[in-house]
């Protein structure tokens, strides 16, 4: 068996080592001041910058393309975590990696040949993740689990920020962790949708270690403090565990 990669060409490790990573989603940031907002969350301790790409087809919303990712890459001091909520992601993966993505995730529901798509991403030298919508069972990952660098569990239906966390996602996290463990994978699990300081402890206890948050971080007036608050809430769970 190949040993887990410690670092990628971008130089960051991504393993299920118990380390909590906070990934602010710029979907709820001020698009006219992305540089300011990214700098604020980085001062607050953000580990990743989560970028939601939507095409108006796979999800009913339109957001960001490679040009914005390229601009973010110039100003971000953290890896860009690009979440593709688009149909036919194979057509665009190379453009997003070329623009500076350090992690690329694709929806299981959007691709007919997930194995091919995951390996396409990995061959480009970045972390490859598979995303599960709330209604997609954890078992959908059984035959690809060993190939994944990370899994993203959606805790809302994708398309919009500011939605309520779906409580069933806690069971889902435990089942995804079980699928990964049975495949001998230490890949971390990312959780995305409705995450805030009130549920951070619960999602970490259920197996998530990368926490995406949009509204909870950018919805108020102090994204730096909100990032710190979310980390503290998540770490509280980690130290109790």
What are the catalytic residues? 52, 192
Q: Is 188 left (phi over 0), alpha (psi -120 to 50) or beta?
A: beta
Closest CB 15 distance from ligand DX5, rounded Å: 22
Contact residue for ligand DX5 among 151, 179, 208, 212 (CB under 6 A) = 212
Residue 213 sits in the site that holds ligand DX5 (CB under 6 A): yes
CB-count exposure of residue 155 (10 Å: 0-12, 13-18, 19+): buried
Q: Which is nearer to Zn ion, 47 or 52 (CB)?
A: 52
Per DSSP, 127 falls in state E
Of positions 14, 20, 21, 25, contacts ligand DX5 by CB under 6 A: 25
Per DSSP, the three-state class of 165 is: coil
Query: What is the distance between the alpha carbons of residues 210 and 150, in angstroms, rounded to a whole number?
Result: 9
195 contact choice in Zn ion, ligand DX5, none (CB below 5 to 8 Å, kind-dependent): ligand DX5
Contact characters 98-137, ligand DX5, x per CB under 6 A: ----------------------------------------
Neighbours of 162 (CB within 10 A): 14
Answer yes or no whether residue 28 interacts with ligand DX5 by CB under 6 A.
yes
Q: Determine the Cα angle at 5 with ends 17 and 181, to 5°.
A: 50
At 84, is the secondary structure helix, strand, or coil?
A: strand
Window 80-99: contact mask with ligand DX5 (x via CB under 6 A): ---x----------------
Residue 192 lies near Zn ion (rule: CB under 5 A): yes
- Check binding of 163 to ligand DX5 (CB under 6 A): yes
- Residue 34 interacts with ligand DX5 (CB under 6 A)? no
Shortest reach from residue 184's CB to Zn ion, in Å: 27
Burial class (CB in 10 A: 0-12, 13-18, 19+), 235: middle
Nearest to 110 by CA among 128, 132, 81: 132
Among 78, 83, 175, 231, binds Zn ion (CB under 5 A): 83
Determine the Cα–Cα distance for residues 83 and 78; give it in Å rounded to an integer. Answer: 15
Using rule CB under 5 A, residue 47 touches Zn ion: no
If one asks whether residue 27 binds ligand DX5 (CB under 6 A), the answer comes out as yes
Q: Which is nearer to ligand DX5, 121 or 195 (CB)?
A: 195
User: Helices 34-43 & 223-240, crossing angle to 10 degrees?
Assistant: 40
Shortest distance in whole angstroms from residue 239 CB to Zn ion: 27
Give the binding site for ligand DX5 (CB under 6 A).
Answer: 25, 27-28, 50, 52, 83, 156, 158-163, 192-195, 212-216
């Amino acid at each position: 068996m190949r040993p887990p990669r410690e670092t990628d060409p971008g130089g960051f490790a991504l393993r299920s080592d118990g380390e909590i990573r906070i990934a602010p989603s710029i979907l709820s940031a001020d698009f006219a001041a992305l540089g300011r907002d990214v700098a604020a969350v980085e001062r607050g301790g953000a580990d990743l910058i989560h970028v939601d790409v939507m095409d108006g087809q796979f999800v009913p919303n339109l957001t960001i393309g490679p040009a914005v990712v390229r601009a973010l890459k110039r100003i971000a001091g953290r890896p860009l975590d690009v979440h593709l909520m688009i149909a036919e992601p194979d057509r665009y993966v190379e453009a997003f990696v070329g623009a500076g993505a350090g992690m690329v995730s694709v929806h299981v529901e959007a691709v007919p040949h997930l194995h091919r798509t995951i390996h396409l991403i990995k061959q480009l030298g970045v972390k490859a993740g598979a995303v599960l919508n709330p209604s997609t069972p954890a078992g959908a990952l059984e035959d690809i689990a060993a190939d994944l660098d990370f899994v993203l569990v959606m805790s809302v239906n994708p398309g919009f920020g500011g939605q309520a966390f779906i409580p069933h996602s806690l069971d889902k996290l435990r089942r995804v962790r079980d699928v990964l463990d049975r495949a001998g994978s230490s890949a971390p699990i990312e959780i995305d949708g409705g995450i805030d300081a009130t549920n951070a402890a619960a999602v970490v206890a259920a197996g998530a270690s990368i926490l995406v948050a949009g509204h909870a971080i950018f919805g108020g007036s102090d994204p730096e403090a909100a990032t710190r608050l979310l980390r503290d809430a998540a770490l509280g769970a980690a130290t109790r565990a």
